[in-house]
Structures are given as C-alpha cells and as structure tokens.
Structure 1
C-alpha cells in the first residue's frame, strides 16, 4: 500500500477514526489496533511476508526476555549473536543470496573454471532492511542494559510493525519509540494539524518533484549513450531531486502520520542539499541510518579514538557497509566507496565536525559567497555520486560519467523541461526558507492570516493534481 495511493487515502481515515473514537479509552486496544492495521498495511503487498516479520519479532521479543534473566556473560553473548544471526540471516538470504552466487560464479569463471549458477527466484520482502535494523537495535540495547526488555508482546509487535515507518523508515530506536506504546496517548489538535502539514509537504515532494523528475531521469539514464554530456548532467540532476523528494517525502508522510496517532518519530532529513561539506551532508541525509551505523558499528570498531589508520579504516567500513545495505549491486558499494573518498580529506584535517549544529546562513536570508561556493561544491560531488546509485552497473556508471566529462557538456541539453525546472526552483526556494524547521513548511507563513496559509496549501494541492502522473513506487521500497 503506497502513501500516494487511493488505498491509503481510504485506509488512513478508517484507522484514525477507530483509533480515536472507539479504542481511545483502552491503551491495549489501541496498540492491538496498530498491530492489526500495520499487518494489513504490510500484507497489502504480499501477505506471505507477514510470517517473516512476525517470526523476526517473536525471536527478538523472546531473546529480550531471556537476556533479562541471564547474568552469565557468555550466554548473554550467545543470545545476542542468535538475534544478529537470525535477523541478518534473513536479510542476507532474501537480499544478497543471488549477488553472492553470481559473483562466486564469476570468480570461478575468471580463473578458467566455469560452473553453472545456482540462483533462486527470490522476491525481496518490502522494508526488510528497515525493520531488521529496528529489531536489532532493541536486542543490542537490551544486551548493553541500555533498555529494559518488554514483557508486553502487543506493544513490541506494534513497535516493530508500526505502519507509518515500517517500509522505509525512519529506523526508530527501541529506546525512543517503544516506551511510547506504554503511555496513554491523548489527541492534540495542534499536533494533528502539524502532522497534516508535514504529510502535505511529503506528498508534494513525492508526487510533484520526485515522480516528475523520475520520468526524465529514467529516460536519460536508460538511453544514456544517445545524449550529450549536458543532457547526461541534467539526468543526474533530475535523479538527485528525485531520490531526495522520494525518500524525504516518504519520511515526512511517515512522521506526519505518526503524529496523527500521538507518536513522535525522529527527523530523518535535515535539508541535506544545503550542506557545506560532505560530513555535514551525511549528518543531514537519512539520519536514522547514519546514526544507526555510527552507534552500532562505527563506535564499536573504535570510532575516531584510535590512530589515523584506524580512523581511515573505520570510515571506509562504515561507508562500504552503508552502500551494501542499499542493495546487492557493485554500484552501491562504489557509491559508498566514493563517499568515503569525499569524507577522507575532512577526516585527515580534523574538519569533519566543523558544521554540527547551526544551519547554513543561520541568521541571514542568503548564504555568503564562501558558503554558497561550499554548498555548490558539495552538491556537485553528491550529484556525481548519485550516478553510481542510479546506474544499472559499474560499466554504465563509468560510461555515464565519461559522457558528462566530454566536450558536449558545454552544449545545450536536449532535454530541458521548463515546467519541471520551474517546479524544482520553487521547491528549492521553499526548502531554503524553511531550513530552520523540522520540515520546510512547518513554520512557513505561520504568522500570516489563516486565509494566506490556506491559499498556499490549496496551491500545493492544485500542483499535485496538475502534475500527478503515473503512480511510482517509492525508491527505498527496494531496499
């Protein structure tokens, strides 16, 4: 069930009304409703995969209870590794089995020993990378005694399967989301309005920006050998805005929907394309995944505490694993490797934490010349890296970049849809004006008369109807 579908437009109001008007006085019923609604939401794609998420939930729930009773460290480690093995085992089988099988065959063929591939026709369960990391955070935190394990099965099932963020995040920590299922939730009109505002902006990002950019990005990437360097660069730009509008749009809808039900989810995007260096970009892009890898992989490996070689090693590990998390293709690993290379000069010069708190032009309307140059350069690096993310394979990516670097980069692009360029400019302006908020239109026009705000919201809705095209699946559903 897609957020931008008629199905969800019917599903959400029904769940909302039952949640607040029928089960409001009973917390257990509310949580049970969330579980049922979440399973319906997830089963809408393929009901067979419900058994997978239920099994994974029951494993981690049981291991959490066992960890509570067990004091012997060796047995606690065994329980932890059982959880890790089960969760990553499922993830590895469904997502990476064919990748490793194909590369195993290629390796033997390279050395003159051709063998028959033994691949399987495996369907990737939607959102498996997201809920796997979410359940793992629970077990790891319980193991580290940072979290008291729950004995409330319904609350735990609701935490794992919470439908707004189940399929594509944010990846919520058990320490943050799980306790919210224990507390009575009261409807707050102002929070609900704020949630609707964020849903509206998320839908605008997806329908108007991402889906329209997808049309031209797909056309150019799928026929890249036919276009000039300038057109190829336009294609990379379109994909850059497509993936941001698509993924951050999903997060906005998820967070806004959660707010309708009295839940608070963490911010997942913080205007990353306004970053002044690549380190700041990664603190603002897919924040829930970046911080997950930081806390559960980078820091346990030693983080930045060791010598230079250890810092470099850990940096490459974190980016390569992040790339591989996104998909079973060498292009994602190359994308992670390239971002590690981008990050390396900042790390070696101790400038990787230069921009950790304030947003660009914090107290000004516009960035100064230095900030503008830094933002532009960081954005350019990001655009080029996205080529690997979008390309079909490494050869396609390198040929695409080679095409961009050709003399034809100075020619006029063959593909330059003026309406889409204007929409992107409008989108950038709104994002820039709202960069100090949790999402772009949270406080935009907040002090203006109600009629002005209403006119703006209607304008966004009109744009969605005008530029609504073919229903596109969210990009991160495949991860």
Structure 2
C-alpha cells in the first residue's frame, strides 16, 4: 500500500476511526496489528523476518541490560548484529557479491558456476534493521535502558508510517512515546493534516511530473545531448527530493495524527552551502545513523587526520552500498565521501572566516553545492556505470535540444522555492498552523487543487521504498 494510493487512504481511515476510540494497551495492540497488516500487504511471507528482528533484539536488549559481564554484553550485541546484518546481507547483497566473485574468478581463469539465491528483496528491510540496531547498540553503550514490554518494542519495529522508507527513529526517543498515553489534540491533527497534504503535493505534483523528463533521459542516455541531459539531471534532482521528502512528510503527518512526534528528515538540502551541510539537511535520520553507529565506531576524528579521512570515506562508501546492491550506489557513496574530504581539507587550509559570508558568497556556495549533489544523482539513478559515462560525455555536446523541458521544470519547481522562503522566514515548515483559519483553508484548497489538476495518472512508486 503506497501512501499516495486509494488503498492506503481506506486502510488508514478504518484504522484511525478505531485508534482514536481506544486507550492504553489496547491502542498499542491495534497499532501493532495495523503494522503487520500493512507490511503483509506487500508480501506476507516477509513478516517472519520482521518478527525475527523484533524477538531477537528484544531478548538481546534485556540480556545486555541485566548482565554485568562485559564479555556477555559484547557477545549479545554480536548476536543482534549478526541477525540483523545477516538478514540484510542474505536478501539484499548475497547475489551481488556472489555475481562479482564469480566474475573475478573467471577473469583469473578459474571456472566457477554462479551461486545465486532466487529470493525477493523484503520491502523496508534496510530501514527496520537499522532502526532495531539502534536499540541494542544504545543499550550496550549505556545510552538507553531496555524495555520489559515486548508490545512496546514490537510497535517500535513495525510502526507502519515509517516501516517502508523511514525515517530511521531511535529507540531511546521513540519508545517513551509508545509507552505514553498520547492524547490526540486539535493542533496535532492540524499539523498532521498539513504534513500529509504537503507530502502528497511534493510527491504527485513535483516528483511525478519531474519523473517524466528524468525517465526519458536516464532510460535512454545515448539519445540525448547537451541541454537535454542537463535538464534531465535537474529533473531527477527535483524528483528525488520531492519524492523522498514527500514520503517523509506524509509519514510524519500520519504519525502526528496518532499523537507521535517523529524525527525531521529533511531541511531544504538544496540550499546548503557545502557538502557537510548538505548531509546535515538530507536524509537526516540516515546521515546521523551513519555518524553515530558507523563513523564514531570506527574512531571518528580521534585518530589523526589521515584516519579521519579514511573513516569519512568508508562511512559514505557503506552509506552508498546501503542504498542498493549495485556498483553505481557504491560509486555514489565514494563520490560524496570524496566531496566531504575535499571540503574538510579546504576548511582546514583556509581556516574559519572572520566574518559571515555575504549574499553573493552564499549564493555561489549554494550554486556549487547544488550542482555537486545534482551530478552525484547521475551515479545514483543510472542503471550501469557505463550509462553515467555516456551521460557525462553527451552533456559536453553543445546542443540546445528540448528547451520546452526547461519551462516544464520551472513550472513545477517554483513551489520548492516558496517552501524554502517559508522555512527561512519562520524557521518551521509548520508555520501554517499560526496562520488565520481562512488563510489556512485557502492554502489547503490550493494545494488540493494542484494535486487534482497537476497530479499524474501514473502511480509512481516512492523511490526509497525500493531500498
């Protein structure tokens, strides 16, 4: 069930009517049942994996929390990591590594038959395994206490608004919300409805309309040159932001309607001034997860300059691999790792500026960072690394083809700049809640009209639901 589908609308309406009438444990039982039904709607067979992650990490959390032996704590943590990463590796990466190992052996002149598993990728597995790992690692580090309530932990892992494509919540901040009564107030409903409408607008008006141009270019890169390639890159840059931030807004909206306060996942990343700021604004729940559970675990910046760069590069490399079992994602991660290292080197050599940058300096930095991210999306979107090379070569061809696409992009991208202006002036995308009722009503109706009139008939899936 996609958030932008009629099926989900019917599912959530039925769920919510019952949810608001329940209290205490009954409400959490209903929420857990809804999470399992929602996940089973994709493929009921993978419920076993979700249950395995839940039961193992619940038990590991109790074990770590109630033993004084450092060795036993470490052993239990290894069990949690082995189960979660084992599930992730088996279903997402086994065939990729098996195919590449077979190819390597053949290059070396060794005959080897490929060993592959005929399995499907469980939807959301990259998200809920990382979500569950935060629980056991935080308990091991002494940053969280284990919960004795299996129901609460099961709800945390299977929380359906965030189950398919995040955000990746931390157990230490989300479990207390599950344990609370969660009295639903009118401001919560108002905020939730706004986020739902805003997310749907980003998805069906901005992302899906940008997908028309992006798919045309990326699905046949050799057929497009010059301006057409550049516009295709711009289109995908806007598509993936509208698609993923739209999903995150809708997930936050659904959670807010239920009385939760979910994590913010995007803060206008395309207006960042450098690569580091970009990753402080883009997919925040993943970038902070990589920082806290991977980069810091490697040693962070505590072991000298060279090791810091190596840790940074390896973190982004693995972050790219997290997105998908393909070389283009690995190269995309390496690209961003290199960008972060170059920025860090530049900052160390240049030193801290004595004064705040002026307007033109800020605009130049935003322009360069935007294009750093945009050209990185070429690696992310292409089917093969060879296609990326074709696009970059064709981009250099002086051809002014498809100028009509420029108008199309401008027509559907201006709302992003308007949203940025709202965010910069108020510091909060929920500033609409402070507006007078009639103004809010007009804004809601305008967004709804755009969705109806400009939304595409094709039901594009959310990009990050594939990961």
**TM-score between both structures, scaled by the size of structure 2:** 0.95
Counterpart mapping for 1:14-33 below 5 A: 14-21=14-21, 23-24=22-23, 27-33=24-30
Find the partner of 2:444 among 450, 457, 461: 457
2:433, 2:161 → 1: CA distance? 27
Show CA shifts across 1:284-336 (max 9, x none). 00000110111111112111122111111111011101000000011011011
SS in 2 for 1:473: coil
Q: Deviations over 1:227-266 (max 9, x none)?
A: 1121011111111011111111111011111111111111
Of 59, 84, 90, which residue of structure 1 is paired with 2:56? 59
Residue 371 of structure 2 corresponds to 380
- Deviation readout 1:172-208 (Å, 9 max, x if unpaired): 0001101111111111101210111011111101111
Partner of 1:391: 382
Name the CA shift for 1:160/1:4 in 2 (closer, same or farther; >3 Å).
same
Q: For residue 444 of structure 1, report the CA deviation from its aligned partner.
A: 4.3
Q: Within the alignment, does 1:423 sit opposite 2:412 as a pair?
A: yes
Kept in 2: contact 1:227–1:414 (CA 8 A): no
Mapped to 2, the partners of 1:378 and 1:248 lie a distance apart of 19
The unaligned stretches of length 5 or more in structure 2 are none
The question of 1:70 aligning with 2:67 is answered yes
Match of 1:209 in 2: 206
Partner of 1:473: 461
> Within the alignment, does 1:276 sit opposite 2:273 as a pair?
yes
2:235 maps to 1:246: no
| Contact 1:308–1:348, Cα closer than 8 Å, also in 2 | no
CA contact (8 A) 2:135 2:172 kept: yes
Give the SS at the match of 2:442. Answer: helix
- Contact 2:235–2:409 (Cα < 8 Å) also in 1: no
Aligned pairs for 1:313-352 (under 5 A) are: 313-350=310-347
Partner in structure 2 of residue 185 of structure 1? 182
Structure 1, 59-68 or 267-276: larger mean CA deviation: 59-68
SS class of match (1:167)? coil
Aligned partner of 1:290 in structure 2 is: 287
RMSD: 2.0
Match of 2:342, SS state, is helix
Shift of 1:71: 1.4
Distance 1:222 1:439, change over 3 A: farther
Aligned partner of 2:168 among 171, 179, 193: 171
- 1:108-148 per-position Cα deviation (integer Å, ceiling 9, x unaligned): 12112242212122210010000000110001111112111
> Structure 1 regions of 5+ residues with no counterpart?
362-366
Corresponding position of 2:228: 231
Aligned residue in 1 for 2:264: 267
Asked whether the 8 Å contact 1:272–1:284 carries over to 2, the reply is yes
Structure 2 distance, partners of 1:382, 1:256, is: 27
Q: Could you say if the C-alpha distance between residues 28 and 205 of structure 1 is closer, same or farther in structure 2, counting changes exceeding 3 Å?
A: same
- Once residues 54 and 437 of structure 1 are traced to their aligned partners in structure 2, the CA distance between those partners, rounded to angstroms, is 42
Shift of the 451–126 alpha-carbon distance from structure 1 to 2, 3 Å rule, reads same
1:216, 1:238 within 8 Å by CA — same for their partners in 2? Answer: yes
Q: Could you list the per-position Cα deviations for residues 19-47 of structure 1 after superposition, in whole angstroms to 9, with x for gaps in the alignment? A: 112x13xx111111110011111111111
Moved more, 138-147 or 411-420: 411-420
Larger mean Cα displacement after TM superposition, 121-130 or 431-440: 431-440
- 8 Å CA contact 1:94–1:125 kept in 2: the answer is yes
Cα shift at 1:70? 1.7
* Cα distance, 1:75 vs structure 2: 1.3
Write out aligned runs for 1:142-153 (5 A): 142-153=139-150
User: What residue is the counterpart of 1:11 in the other structure?
Assistant: 11
Deviation at 1:439, TM superposition (A): 5.8
- The 1-side partners of 2:99 and 2:129 are apart by 24
TM-score, normalisation: structure 1: 0.93
| Distance in structure 1 (CA, Å) of the matches to 2:58 and 2:365 | 47
Change (3 A) 1:395 1:386: same
Shift of 1:438: 6.8
**Maintained 8 Å contact 2:272/2:278:** yes
Does the 8 A contact of 2:190 with 2:433 survive in 1?
A: no
The offset of 1:340, in angstroms, is 1.3
